[in-house]
Structure 1
């Protein structure tokens, strides 16, 4: 359950409208690394968190704060769009080609679609989408994604801040920059807390590490002749998992598998030269039969005692 108060977290008042800047400003609202992304990312992680107590509460607290940040930005955008384009603006543009060219940089959807309000899009009008968010259910990997998201968000906010001299806009962005600075630290310290509390025994995700290809986990492969990449710590130091040394090798095939594909279903009309034998027709019954065969095979494996 959420509660809403009328007051914004921070003042969102530009000194004057600026429709052209509003188009740019959309990026830090509805872009891939905008406030809508971190808001939904944190809320989804919080709703999905299976660790009640400080972790779930922390994720929900920051997610809820980000709802407020989205509101601040939508208010700022509406105020930047005030009076644009109105009848007076259109007449002025008609009499002044330079002004018309400047106004031509405005996002027309602000006037046509949203009626002078913010939109859930990036600066090019591309709609925000849920593919931007990361919510894996694993707090270690999620916290790392969150720190990166805050870093990207802060970088874009910093760039946007350099595109205006409006004191009101800059004051709000100075607050947002500070919150992004804190939030980056919050997620990195959250990773330390996970280690202290025993939820992870390392600094990277390595589930099923006991049966991964251990040798491949210690190699830096280089594919560039004369590459100096092997001089870096990623190639000269030791593994963060087991302390074993890294090494550098040229990128070469480790198999004789050339990736030849099986013959296609002739009903799919795939271009095929016959080199893999005759094409084999398939249907839904074949898929079901294969599925049943797989289940039977697993049952046999489970019932067969180890030798």
Structure 2
């Protein structure tokens, strides 16, 4: 149940009307990072939260506050539009001052909103529910909330420097402060989720053994910029490896033969390419003797030197086997092949002298 109080959270009264600035303020109402977005984002996060207690209460307290922020901004927009041209457009444009106002204002505020705010951004684009992030995972949601509040505060700060009106500035000073504390609270809530043992650094805390172990600790240098590897993220304990010359791991990205009824352009000469795509790198590049293969056999993950009949070592988890297999391949300077449970090659990487380690 929601109960409305006929008082604004903070005063929203400009010193004088300004139709052009009223249009600009629409971004803080119905833009992608406006107050309507965080209102609905927090409401749905609260409704989707399956745990009663401190986290749900924090979300709902903030969601309800954001409803009040929409009301403040809508009130400010209506007051900024006071006296703006509505039914006398023809007469208005004869006055240079009024013509300038009309040229800068959002005419839909007059035509559709009757001189009031709209659920739209500063270009009149309607607010979209797709802006809302409410996944049910509190770590993922709280991180999205930090980003939303950061973008909202950034836009508020920019708009603050676009007006000299004392009344507008006073309201925006309040909004800036609330955006500040909301960033602080979501950051603190993220730390508390981890302290309570509900989440760790990565969201979600699942499927770590199933994910592709070869690629969960590397950054691919895929732009001309040479300095990415100089960041702290690629050094120290637990640092991420920066691949300076990564190579494509898949085959050609050719689409399959189209349905004849769709009349896509296609020739029979492409059939051979379709076969090449279907078989992928596994058949195109055979596994050489001496390479290290990680595979699932008889309930365990094992590393075997290709060409050998016996496994070099066995592990309970895929992650441990892949780590050991990579070490073996790096030491021998050979290729490391990781097979899926079905025996098909899932990943392969060379560690020869002409390849980046």
Higher mean C-alpha displacement, 2-11 vs 96-105: 96-105
How far the C-alpha of 1:172 sits from its partner, in A, is 0.7
Q: Which residue of 1 aligns with 2:25?
A: 25
| Paired positions, count | 275
TM-score (norm 2): 0.72
Higher strand share: 2
Whether contact under 8 Å (1:263, 1:274) holds in the other structure is no
Matches of 2:223 and 2:164, distance apart in 1: 45
**Residue by residue, what CA displacement relative to the aligned partner does 1:162-205 show, whole Å, maximum 9, x if unpaired?**
11111111111111100000000010000011011110133654
- Distance apart, 1:99 and its partner CA: 4.4
CA–CA distance in structure 2, aligned partners of residues 261 and 101 of structure 1: 54
Provide Cα deviations, 1:108-159, integer angstroms capped at 9, x if missing partner. Answer: 1111111101001000000100111111110001000000100000010111
Q: CA RMSD in A?
A: 2.2
Q: CA deviation at 1:208?
A: 1.1
Aligned equivalent of 2:133: 134
Matched, 1:258 2:237: no
Q: In the alignment, is residue 79 of structure 1 matched against residue 79 of structure 2?
A: yes
Q: Which residue in the other structure is 1:68 paired with?
A: 68
TM alignment of 1:36-55, pairs within 5 A: 36-55=36-55
User: Is 1:35 aligned to 2:59, yes or no?
Assistant: no
Would the aligned equivalents of 1:262 and 1:276 in 2 still touch at CA under 8 Å? no
Aligned to 2:265: 271
CA–CA separation in structure 1 for the residues paired with 2:250 and 2:207:
26
CA–CA separation in structure 1 for the residues paired with 2:245 and 2:135: 31
C-alpha distance 89-82 of structure 1, shift in aligned 2 (>3 A): farther
Q: How many Å separate the matches in 2 of 1:175 and 1:147?
A: 18
Please give the secondary structure, in 1, of the residue aligned with 2:13. Answer: coil
Q: Distance in 2 between matches of 1:163 and 1:225?
A: 37
Residue 229 of structure 1, CA deviation: 1.2
- Paired residues for 1:1-307 under 5 Å: 1-85=1-85, 91=91, 93-94=93-94, 96-97=95-96, 99-202=98-201, 205-225=204-224, 227-238=226-237, 243=238, 245-277=239-271
Cα drift, residue 272 of structure 1: 1.9
Deviation at 1:215, TM superposition (A): 2.7
C-alpha separation between the residues in 1 aligned to 2:205 and 2:245?
23
| Deviation at residue 249 of structure 1 after TM alignment | 1.2
Q: Which residue of 1 aligns with 2:329?
A: none
CA distance in 1, matches of 2:269, 2:57: 60
- In structure 2, list runs of 5 or more residues that go unmatched: 273-297, 301-357
Structure 2 CA distance for aligned equivalents of residues 266 and 251 of structure 1: 41
Q: In 2, Cα distance between the equivalents of 1:27 and 1:149?
A: 13
| 1:248 alignment partner, SS class | strand
The structure having more radius of gyration, on CA atoms, is 2
Instruction: Give secondary structure in 2 for the equivalent of 1:209.
Output: coil
Deviation at 1:246, TM superposition (A): 2.1
Partner of 1:282: none
Distance 2:139 2:269 in 1: 47
Q: CA deviation at 1:251?
A: 4.8
Q: For each residue in 1:81-115, what CA deviation from the matched residue of structure 2 results, as whole angstroms up to 9, or x when unmatched? A: 11111578864641x43542343111111111111
Contact 2:46/2:59 (CA < 8 Å) preserved in 1?
yes
TM-score (norm 1): 0.83
CA spacing shift, 1:140–1:273, aligned 2, 3 Å = same
Distance in 2 between the 1:63 and 1:169 partners? 23
